[in-house]
Amino acid sequence: MNIDLQLDIGNVWEMLSAIGTVLAVVISLVLAFRESRKKLYVQLTTDINFDKYYQISIYRNPQDYFVISDVGYIHRLKRVSLIEIETGILNSEDFEIHRGLPYSFVHDPIVKVFLSRWDYKSLISKKIKVYVTDSEGRIHKSRKIIVRDLES
């Protein structure tokens, strides 16, 4: 009894080649869209000079253009806007360059939203995230931070 077994693997190589081509296209599209996405980096900080008030530091890519339309914080999944309080926009040298929102974020790669009138007392020792909303409705969030009392 003699069994003659032959495999034709020509189609397997064509199939693997097609799968590789599709994967290469998908990876290139993902990389292209990921790099072109605008992004702001947001951080809650205290003022450098006196350590008496909070400010939201916003960093951007120098080639991107943003309009900041809202700032606020998130605590326990509840988003609270700080647009009603009096805010000032400071440049990287801590000079006030604008009062209130919206603000066109064009020239400086770093701006700070001055929160001298923010009543944060109910948030002391709690974890929050601060956020910035741009004119396209995208929300840019910071990492979680524990709010501390700046008056003590």
Stretch 91-112: mean pLDDT: 82
When mean pLDDT is compared across 74-78, 106-110, 136-140, the lowest value belongs to 106-110
Tell me: pLDDT of 71 over 70. yes
Sign of the alpha-carbon dihedral angle for 30, 132, 47, 75: negative
Question: What value, to the nearest 5°, has the Cα angle with vertex 54 and ends 50 and 57?
Answer: 105
Query: Residue 81 — very low, low, confident or very high, per pLDDT cuts 50/70/90?
Result: very high
Query: Residue 8 — very low, low, confident or very high, per pLDDT cuts 50/70/90?
Result: low
pLDDT, tens digit, 9 for 90 and up, residues 15-54: 888 899 999 999 998 888 776 677 889 999 988 777 788 9
Q: How far apart are CA 92 and CA 105, in angstroms?
A: 12
**129 found inside a domain:** yes
**98 found inside a domain:** yes
**4 found inside a domain:** no
**65 found inside a domain:** yes
**109 found inside a domain:** yes
The contacts of residue 138 (CB under 8 Å, 6+ apart) are: 38
Q: How far apart are CA 47 and CA 55, in angstroms?
A: 7
pLDDT, tens digit, 9 for 90 and up, residues 100-109: 888 887 778 8
Residue 73: the pLDDT is: 95
**24 found inside a domain:** no
Q: Which domain holds residue 123?
A: 40-146
**71 found inside a domain:** yes
- The CATH number that applies at residue 76 is 2.60.40
**Total domain count for the chain?**
1
**12 found inside a domain:** no
